[in-house]
Structure 1
Amino acid sequence: MNRTLTDRLILALVVVAAFVWMMPMLWVLTLSLKPNEELVRSTNGIIPWPRTLEHFATLLRVSLTPRWLLNSVVVALGMTAATLLLSSLAGYAFARIDFPGRRAVFLLVMAGLMVPEQAILVPLHAMFADWELHNTYFSLIAPRLAGPMGVFLMTQFFKAVPRELEEAAELDNAGRFKIFWSVMLPLSRPALTTLGIFTFLFAWNDFLWPVVTATQPEMYTLSVGLGSLQGNFAMSEGLGFLMASAVFASAPMLILYIVFQRYIVQGIAITGGK
C-alpha cells in the first residue's frame, strides 16, 4: 500500500515537472498563432485566440526558406550517417582488436573532448579557405565527424557484448568484417539509434561553424537562415514571426524524439549500465 502511494506521488511529481518543462514551448506556439495586433496588447495566455497562420505563411514566402530546410536535412543526414559508420568501426576496433598502441590511440581520441570548439575555429576556417571548400556541403559536414563521444559510446557498448558470440561466428569461418557487420552491428542498434538521434539533433541545431563556413545565403542551414531573418524581419513582421520561426525550426526535432523516444531510453539504459 505504501509503495503504491509512493509510486503515485512520484508519478504526480513527474507530471507536474513535465508540464512546467512544456510551458515555454506551449507559450512559443501560442505566440506564433496570434496576430501581431493581439501580441502588441498582450503576450499572456496559452490559448491562442484569435488564431492566424499568417506568420507561418510569411515564413514560407521567403524564397530561400525551403532551400535552407533542404540544406539542414542534407547536412544532418550526412553527418549522422558518417558519424555512425566511423564511430561504430572505431568503437569495434578499440573494443575487440588488440593492435599495438591501442590504449594510447584511444586516450588520444578521448583527449579531443577537452579541446573547445572555439580553439580550432580559426585554423579550421583557414584550412577550408585554402582548399576553397567553403559554401559546400563537405565543409558543413566534415569538421563535425571527429566525434570522440560517439567513439566512446560505441566502444563501451561493444566491450559489453559477450565474446562467445564472436567465437561462435569464428567457428563458422566468419571473417572480422563479417562478424562486425552481421553480428555486432545488429546487436548495437539501440546504441546506434541513440547516437544517431543525438548527432542529428546536434547537426540540426548547429550554428557556430555553419555561420562561419556558409557565407552565401543559398548554403545557409535552417538555423543560420532563420537567424538572419530575425535581424531582417523582426521589426517589420513582429514577435509572431519570430515565434513562428522558432516553431518551424524545432518541430522536426520534436517529431523525431516522439517517434524514437523508446530507442533513446533503451540505448541510454543499456550503455549507461555497462
Structure 2
Amino acid sequence: MSTSTPLLRRGAFDRLVLAALVLLALVWMLPLLWVLGLSFKPNEFLAGHTDVIFSGPFTLENYLDILHTSAVFRWLGNSAWVALCQTVGVLVLSSLAGYGFARTEFPGRKIIFAMVMFGLAVPAQTTFIPLHRLFSYWNLQNTYAGLILPGLAAPFGVYLMTQYFKAIPPDLEEAAMLDNASRLKIFFRVVLPLTVPAQVTLAIFTFLGSWNDYLWPLVIATKPEMYTLTRGLASTQTNFAQSEGLGFLMAQAVFAGLPILTLYLFFQKYLVTAVAGNGRH
C-alpha cells in the first residue's frame, strides 16, 4: 500500500503535466487556426466579421487569386533555389569550419572562433547598408548571387557543428589515422556521417530562415522576376489589405508556410534527435 501510493501520485502528476502541455499547445495553435480559418473566408464577409472562422461561408477564391498571380510560381522557384543554395553552402562551410575549430590547432584559433561567435550578437540588419553598397559595386543586384551570398555567413552553424564535433570521441579518428587515412578522408568517411542529426537540424533552421527572409530580398531585388515568395506576395498586397483583403492576406501566409511545414514533417525525427543530444553515437 505504501509502495503504490507514491506511484499513484507520480502518475497523477504526469497526467497533470501532460494536460498542461496539451493546453499550452492548443493556446499556441489558436493563432494558426485563426489564420487558416480566415484564409477560406470571402473578403467581403471579413470586412464586417472576423470573429466567425469555423462556420460558413467558405471559399477557395483567396487561394485561386494567389495561383492566378502570373509570377507566383517564379517567386516560389526563386525562394526554393535561394533557400536550397544557402542551406547547402551553410552545411559545407559550417561543417568544415566546425571540424577545424574542434579538431585542429592553428595560430589564433581561439581569437578567430571568438570573432565568429561575436557575429551572433550582430543584428543582420546593421550590415544591410555596407552589403548593399558592396553588392551594387559588384553589380550583383537582382541576381541569385546577391540573394544567396549574405546567407552563407552563419555563426550559429559554425558554433553548432564545432560543439557537435567536440562531442565525438577522438578515438575513432585515431584508429583511422593508424591506417594512414588522411585528415580529409577521416572527415568525410568517419566523422561527418556521425553528425547527420546536427546537419539536418542546421539545414532546417537555415532553410527556414532563408525561406522566410523578407528584408534582404526587399533591399537587393528590385525587379519582379527576381522576387522571392515573401517579397513577391507582399508586393501584391494593397494599402487596405487588412480591411478589404484579409482573407487573401491569410491565404498568402498559409501558402508561404506550407513548404516549411512539409519539410519539418519529413525531418522532425532528426531535429528531435539532435535537440535531445542522442545522435552523437
State yes or no: 1:219 paired with 2:226: yes
What is the alpha-carbon distance in structure 2 between the residues aligned to residue 241 and residue 113 of structure 1?
36
CA pair 150-130 structure 1, distance change in 2 beyond 3 A: same
Match of 1:32 in 2: 39
- Corresponding residue of 2:206: 199
**Letter paired with 1:202:** G
Structure 1 residue 237: deviation in Å?
A: 6.0
Structure 1 residues 232 and 46: CA distance shift in structure 2, 3 A: closer
Q: Does 1:67 align with 2:82?
A: no
Displacement of 1:118 in angstroms is: 2.5
Task: Decide which of 218, 223, 238 is 1:231's aligned counterpart.
Answer: 238
Q: How does 1:92-131 map to 2 (within 5 A)?
A: 92-131=99-138
Q: CA RMSD for the aligned pairs?
A: 1.9
Contact kept, 8 Å, 2:242 with 2:249, in 1: the verdict is no
Q: Contact 1:95–1:156 (CA<8 Å) still a contact in 2? A: yes
Give distance in 2, aligned partners of 1:146 and 1:271. Answer: 27
Paired residue type of 1:120: T
Other-structure match for 2:13? 6
List alignment gaps of at least 5 residues for structure 2: 1-7
1:150 and 2:157 aligned: yes
1:271 positional shift: 8.6
Verify the 8 A CA contact 1:33 1:48 in the aligned structure 2: no
Identity fraction in percent: 58
Match of 1:88 among 95, 102, 110: 95
CA contact (8 A) 1:68 1:222 kept: yes
Q: Provide Cα deviations, 1:130-157, integer angstroms capped at 9, x if missing partner.
A: 1101111111010111111100000000
For residues 70-114 of structure 1, what are the alpha-carbon distances to aligned partners after superposition, in whole Å with 9 as ceiling and x for unaligned? 000000000000000000000000000111221111112112122
Q: CA deviation at 1:233?
A: 7.8
The size of the alignment, in residue pairs, is 273
Distance change >3 Å, CA 190–CA 272, structure 1 → 2: closer
2:236 alignment partner, SS class: helix
Per-residue displacement from partner, 1:9-53 (whole Å, max 9, x unpaired)?
111111111111111111111111112233233212341422211
Identify the range of structure 1 (166-175 vs 68-77) with the bigger mean alpha-carbon deviation: 166-175
The CA distance in 2 between the partners of 1:46 and 1:103, in whole Å, is: 55
2:190: which partner in 1?
Answer: 183
8 Å Cα contact 2:173-2:190 kept in structure 1: yes
Contact 1:234 1:242 in 2 (8 A): yes
Corresponding residue of 1:262: 269
* Amino acid in the other structure paired with 1:157: Y
Distance in structure 2 (CA, Å) of the matches to 1:31 and 1:225: 21
1:153–1:271: 8 Å Cα contact kept in structure 2?
Answer: no
- 2:177 matched to 1:170? yes
Q: Is the 8 A contact 2:195 2:279 kept in 1?
A: no
Counterpart code for 2:120:
L
Does the 8 A contact of 1:191 with 1:271 survive in 2? Answer: no
Q: Could you tell me how far 1:8 is from its partner in structure 2?
A: 0.7
Q: Secondary structure at the match of 2:47?
A: helix
Whether the 8 Å CA contact 1:68–1:219 is kept in 2: the answer is yes
Distance in 2 between the 1:57 and 1:33 partners?
A: 11
Report whether the alignment pairs 1:208 with 2:240: no
Sort the Cα spacing of 1:263 and 1:235 in 2 relative to 1 into closer, same or farther, 3 A.
closer
Q: Residue 219 of structure 1 aligns to which amino acid in structure 2? A: M
Q: TM-score, normalised by structure 1?
A: 0.95
Match of 2:29 in 1: 22
- Structure 1 residues 122 and 168, CA gap change in structure 2 (3 angstroms): same
Residue identity matched to 2:109: R
Report matched runs for 1:53-64 at 5 Å.
53-64=60-71
Q: Distance in 1 between matches of 2:279 and 2:115?
A: 22
Per-residue deviation, 1:219 = 0.4
Asked if the contact 2:39/2:250 (under 8 Å) is kept, the reply is: yes
